[in-house]
Amino acid sequence: MITLHWVYAVAGAMFAAFALLGARDRTHPRRWMNAAFWGLLALSMWAGDRLGDVGNGVLVLGLIGIGALGGLSRGDGVVPAEIRQARADRFGNRLFAIALIIPATALIGTFLFKLAPGWFDGKQATLIALALGVIIAMTVGCLWLRAGAQVPLQQGRRLMDCIGWAAILPQMLASLGAVFALAGVGEAVGGIVQQAIPQGSLIGAVIAYGVGMALFTIVMGNAFAAFPVMTAAIGIPLLIRTYHGDPAIICAIGMLAGFCGTLMTPMAANFNLVPAALLELKDQHGVIKRQVGTALPLLIVNILLIYWLAFP
């Protein structure tokens, strides 16, 4: 039966290829550090289940060490702009067609794989289908665009190096959530928040969750970091366990309430300050000022959507 482990094998192979290509790249200033980082991720994907809990913990410490001590840096290998323009003119919408293979396969597979429960792990159908879509798109792409098999790996490695340590940030935050759950953070915050919200007020709890997501994101500049905190504090104990709301709706829209916060904060420099500099604006908060007018009404919409959709 095809399970998530097959997908981990594919991902592990990709990270291992990035590590090998990185180690062989003599133009790269810190190639060994780069290779070690992606190599550790490959090890995690391939052998995580055999390392034991402490072993995985040590692996994480290694990733944090390399990532935080500035061990990673960018490689190059960008295709010159004139060549890309010439290829764009030649290939046209074929490029979009190849890109669409991935979401189309993921969507179709999510439904189809459930029909063959003996062959596929139905609970992980989407991720299995996603990996299949990537393999199909890569094969079709190489053939249709007449590219060598090493092109996707070399170019993928270039993009991966640009992302660097931030690549493991979501996985790290999900893991932090587990430690929060183990330590009972949710119960502790829930106890405090429940005193602040009028007793038994569902709309009060929903507002606290939505506004809390936006405020925490404004302070930290990152909705991903706010999410484990607010979900442990209000989402799980109040909205899901006490009021029996739909967890998928609460969390999906709760995250988007956090994104409204991202639009309003100079802490999210990548999105708000860097573009202002790039466009040579005199007012470095000029972009944020244009965004607030959309972000605030949208935050209200998100709160109302949670209230209406998650609690039928």
What is the closest distance, in whole angstroms, from the C-beta atom of residue 24 to another protein in the complex?
17
Question: Do 260 and 214 meet the contact criterion of CB atoms below 8 Å apart?
Answer: yes
Q: Helix, strand, or coil here: 198?
A: coil
2 interacts with another protein by CB under 8 A: no
Question: Do 34 and 28 meet the contact criterion of CB atoms below 8 Å apart?
Answer: yes
Nearest to 27 by CA among 73, 64, 75: 75
Backbone angles phi, psi at 67, to 5 degrees: -65, -45
The residue among 1 and 274 lying less far from another protein, judged by its C-beta, is 274
Stretch that binds another protein, among 20-28, 29-37, 170-178, 197-205 (CB under 8 A): 170-178
* Single residue of 26, 118, 182, 195 touching another protein by CB under 8 A: 182
Collect all residues with Cβ–Cβ distance below 8 Å to 254 and sequence separation of at least 6. 209, 210, 213, 227, 230, 231, 235, 302, 306
The residue among 21 and 197 lying less far from another protein, judged by its C-beta, is 21
* Single residue of 33, 41, 42, 43 touching another protein by CB under 8 A: 41
Collect all residues with Cβ–Cβ distance below 8 Å to 259 and sequence separation of at least 6. 217, 223
Q: Residue 243 carries which DSSP code?
A: T
The residue among 80 and 118 lying less far from another protein, judged by its C-beta, is 80
The residue among 23 and 176 lying less far from another protein, judged by its C-beta, is 176
* Single residue of 27, 196, 282, 312 touching another protein by CB under 8 A: 282
* Single residue of 2, 20, 145, 211 touching another protein by CB under 8 A: 145
* Single residue of 74, 203, 286, 311 touching another protein by CB under 8 A: 286
Chain positions 98 to 137 lying near another protein, rule: CB under 8 A, are 98-100, 102-103, 106-107, 110, 123-127, 130-131, 134, 137
* Single residue of 1, 58, 108, 116 touching another protein by CB under 8 A: 58
87 interacts with another protein by CB under 8 A: yes
In our burial notation (b when 16+ CB lie closer than 10 A, e otherwise), range 238-271 reads bbbeeeebebebbbebbbbbbbbbbbbbeebeee
* Single residue of 2, 20, 23, 151 touching another protein by CB under 8 A: 151
271 interacts with another protein by CB under 8 A: yes
242 interacts with another protein by CB under 8 A: no
Count CA atoms within 13 Å of residue 137 on its CB side: 20
252 interacts with another protein by CB under 8 A: yes
234 interacts with another protein by CB under 8 A: no
**How many other C-beta atoms are found inside a 10 Å radius of the C-beta of residue 123?**
12
β-pair partners for 2: 120
Backbone angles phi, psi at 118, to 5 degrees: -75, -20
* Single residue of 21, 189, 193, 205 touching another protein by CB under 8 A: 189
What is the closest distance, in whole angstroms, from the C-beta atom of residue 31 to another protein in the complex?
19
The residue among 197 and 233 lying less far from another protein, judged by its C-beta, is 233
The residue among 51 and 207 lying less far from another protein, judged by its C-beta, is 51
CA separation (Å) from 153 to 17, 20, 77, 226, 257? Answer: 7, 11, 12, 34, 36
